[in-house]
Structure 1
Amino acid sequence: MSATTARRVLISAGEASGENYGAMLIPELRKLLGTETQFFGVGGEKMRAAGCETIIDSGKVAAVGITEVMKHVATIYREFFRMVSVARSRKPDVAVLIDFPDFNLRLAEKLHTMGVPVVYFVSPQLWAWKQRRIWRVKKFVDRMLVIFPFEESYYRERRVDAEYVGHPLADLPLPQIAREEFARRFGIEGGKKWIALLPGSRKKEILLNLPVMLQAAGELGPEYEYLVPVASTLSRDWMAQQTGGARVHLVDDPCAALLHSRAAVVASGTATVEAALIGTPFIVVYRVSGLSYAIGRRLVKVKNFGMVNLIAGREIVPELIQSNFRPENVVRQIRRLLVEGDPRAEMVRNLEGVRKELRNAADARGKTAIVRAAEAIGRTLLNSQPVKQKAT
């Protein structure tokens, strides 16, 4: 695919996982649309390194929970309308909105009024909660690119142009760094068992999840080494402050940390899929404000929170959510996974089943999820019709 003039692509990714996918998409889109293609939008360091001009740093708009969003609403709205203003002046040829639905579904509406074709990559979990938002997708999104097999039929049954492209994480090889080298790089004692603590990628998530993880680590004691990956959207210095002098190691590669750890405590989100694909036994934890949980729980339509359990169709990984997320519960659950025995062996088998499902789906398509997504974006750019002409 070539163009006589440089294409302009708006990419909006407000969280660490989405920003990672955005950074992976940019070089593939350049191959299709031309090396002069211009990228701008919402993102972080990885997207900047890939050549995207980040009009808004994702750290300024990322929030978690209903009440947490309310506390930052002025900043979020100011940055939102700044992005809308830039989009209106630059007139992108296509917009790629990655997850982050509270921000991106509203951005889709504004882009729709400008006549910009909108591709949504990584579906909002409408099948789980806030299902009423489907009208926004039907009206303002040209194409929905989903990463889980069951999502394609969900959207098509609701007359949304959806395509399953596969999960980007399923295409990635395991980290190549040896455990010994990883230990040397971060000053970790290699003779001990390691436990990875993944509290999330947003500051509010860290503030709510990390303290309980650190308390649990304190109860488990010094016979283990504790690894805390720092998300690309967060400052290492800020993360160091949050550990409060606890005996943990801040590392920069969550996948390597998971691969070389005996077990992990993982905040609900994309990291649970990473842990499943790597095969490390883990528990899912999460906490938001009490009011956010009370409101949100009434809107959730599924039994489990962890994506790995949703993929499996049953609880194969323990979930400690909200009031159940206490240090003593973390210690009790993680100890079952640190030693050889039935609980650990059963979880390893179940995670292998999830891993095979995701990877087999990817292999059947012959191309990586990112390549398929880039091709779908390219087709949308060339063949798009105004959204208002689509059936509703």
Structure 2
Amino acid sequence: MKYYIIAGEASGDLHASNLMKAIKEKDPNADFRFWGGDLMQAQGGTMVKHYRDLAFMGFVEVVQNLGTILKNIKLCKKDIATYKPDVLVLVDYPGFNLRIAKFAKSLGIRVVYYISPQLWAWKEGRVETIKKYVDDMLLILPFEKDFYKKHQVDAHFVGHPLLDAISDLPNVDAELFKKENNLNSQPIIALLPGSREQEVKKMLELMLSVRSYFKEYQFVIAGAPSLVKDFYEQYVDENVHFVSNKTYDLLRCSRAALVTSGTATLETALLNTPEVVCYKSSKISYEIAKRLVKHIKYISLVNLIMDREIVTELIQDELNTQNLVKELNRILSGTDREKMLNDFSQLREKLGGKGASQHAADVVVNII
């Protein structure tokens, strides 16, 4: 059968690739056409467009690139109409994907949405679009079930696919990892500054401002697959290093991490690495977001899932050198570190067991 899948960023590429793998186990003749990344490409099929050409961050940036976005939507619609898939699988990325859902439904194509947009945070009205144009909504966060029930949508909680990806990882030897990646013997503080160029530039400057306070540690930047290695060279020196496509191993070998808000905050927690969550956007984008986002207490998935503060969130003006130093010191040793690690264990229990990708694949294949 023919599957058309759209993922617009790095986390979507990861989850969609695992879904593709699970689909192939149930449908050996599966034919994939997709918008995504390298992980999806490794599963086979035809890539129409890489997500690095789709990701625009913040309201201002979206407006500046509106022409490109509209061209991509037009290209996607034409490609779907030509390919005629048996099912369209949309992975998060709502601004783009909800438009495509409406178009696909007009052609009589079955639509599955895997990983819900964060409608509980903002743009709740989009749930009406989902009711009209999506046949099955697959949820990966437990609290989303109640949100959709409130709107009379019978959505399915399939579990979180990160548990699958992380539980299947082979053991990693920290000393061997350091040697293979030309790192020194000092303990590591990992830096996860994001995946978009403008975001990374902003976040790395702030994250690296703490270097002089932690001379007994080495700082290692986790390179995003969407950015070329040369981009990071400007930040590397004798005590700041860079690794590419090894983020999970890096986190497992690190004492702590500074992490830009997003899926990476949950990945870091599930890998049992104490973290400080960082977020800063342009002033205009932030002010617009404050007015549009519904009242939610937290921005990190870790705190949202647990409905209490497990990890410290430094947002906008609070994200500064002084606060970063203070929070890092808290989680490098002592009782605060132990409490955070204990909370991470409870987080894993709340997300359920393995099998999210398999459960999602069951729905996708059966809907056809």
In which range does the TM-score fall when normalised by the shorter chain? Answer: over 0.9
2:331 maps to what in 1?
A: 337
**Secondary structure at the residue paired with 1:362?**
coil
Mapped to 1, the partners of 2:107 and 2:240 lie a distance apart of 49
Aligned-pair CA distance for 1:244? 6.0
Counterpart of 2:83 in structure 1: which amino acid?
Answer: R
Counterpart of 1:156 in structure 2: which amino acid?
Answer: K
Mapped to 2, the partners of 1:299 and 1:175 lie a distance apart of 42
Cα distance change, pair 246–294 in 1 and its aligned pair in 2 (3 A): farther
Aligned-pair CA distance for 1:161? 3.1
- Of 160, 165, 172, the residue aligned with 1:167 is 160
1:121-270 matches, cutoff 5 A = 121-171=114-164, 172-173=166-167, 174-190=169-185, 192-216=186-210, 218-241=211-234, 243=235, 245=237, 247-251=239-243, 252-270=245-263
Residue 351 (str. 1) matches residue 338 (str. 2): no
- Of 344, 349, 356, the residue aligned with 1:369 is 356
1:370-389 matches, cutoff 5 A = 370-381=357-368
> Is this contact kept in 2: 1:41–1:83, CA < 8 A?
no
Relative to the length of structure 2, the TM-score reads 0.94
Mapped to 1, the partners of 2:221 and 2:45 lie a distance apart of 28
> Is this contact kept in 1: 2:142–2:305, CA < 8 A?
no
Deviations along 1:96-115, one digit per CA (max 9) or x if unpaired, are 11111111111111212221
Mapped to 1, the partners of 2:184 and 2:239 lie a distance apart of 12
Mapped to 2, the partners of 1:226 and 1:24 lie a distance apart of 30
1:283-302 matches, cutoff 5 A = 283-301=276-294, 302=296
Cα distance change, pair 109–207 in 1 and its aligned pair in 2 (3 A): farther
> Is this contact kept in 2: 1:45–1:233, CA < 8 A?
no
**Secondary structure at the residue paired with 1:166?**
coil
Mapped to 1, the partners of 2:215 and 2:170 lie a distance apart of 26
Counterpart of 1:376 in structure 2: which amino acid?
Answer: V
Deviations along 1:191-226, one digit per CA (max 9) or x if unpaired, are x2210111112223212212211222x333432111
1:307 maps to what in 2?
A: 301
Please, what is the CA RMSD of the aligned residues?
1.6
1:77-88 matches, cutoff 5 A = 77-88=70-81
> Is this contact kept in 2: 1:94–1:116, CA < 8 A?
yes
Q: Which segments of 5 or more consecutive residues in structure 1 lack a partner in the other structure?
A: 1-6, 382-392
1:107 maps to what in 2?
A: 100
4+ residue runs of structure 1 moved beyond 3 angstroms? 244-247
Mapped to 2, the partners of 1:105 and 1:246 lie a distance apart of 46
> Is this contact kept in 2: 1:284–1:318, CA < 8 A?
yes
Q: Percent identity?
A: 39
**Secondary structure at the residue paired with 1:176?**
coil
Relative to the length of structure 1, the TM-score reads 0.89
Choose 218-227 or 37-46, whichever is displaced more. Answer: 218-227
Aligned-pair CA distance for 1:14? 0.7
Counterpart of 2:145 in structure 1: which amino acid?
Answer: E
Residue 33 (str. 1) matches residue 24 (str. 2): no
Mapped to 2, the partners of 1:135 and 1:203 lie a distance apart of 34
Q: Which segments of 5 or more consecutive residues in structure 2 lack a partner in the other structure?
A: none
Deviations along 1:287-335, one digit per CA (max 9) or x if unpaired, are 1111111111122220110110011111111100111111221112111
- Of 73, 89, 94, the residue aligned with 1:96 is 89
**Secondary structure at the residue paired with 1:21?**
helix
Counterpart of 2:359 in structure 1: which amino acid?
Answer: R
> Is this contact kept in 2: 1:120–1:145, CA < 8 A?
yes
Deviations along 1:145-188, one digit per CA (max 9) or x if unpaired, are 00011212321331223111100111232552211111111111
**Secondary structure at the residue paired with 1:149?**
coil
**Secondary structure at the residue paired with 1:298?**
helix
Mapped to 2, the partners of 1:200 and 1:187 lie a distance apart of 23
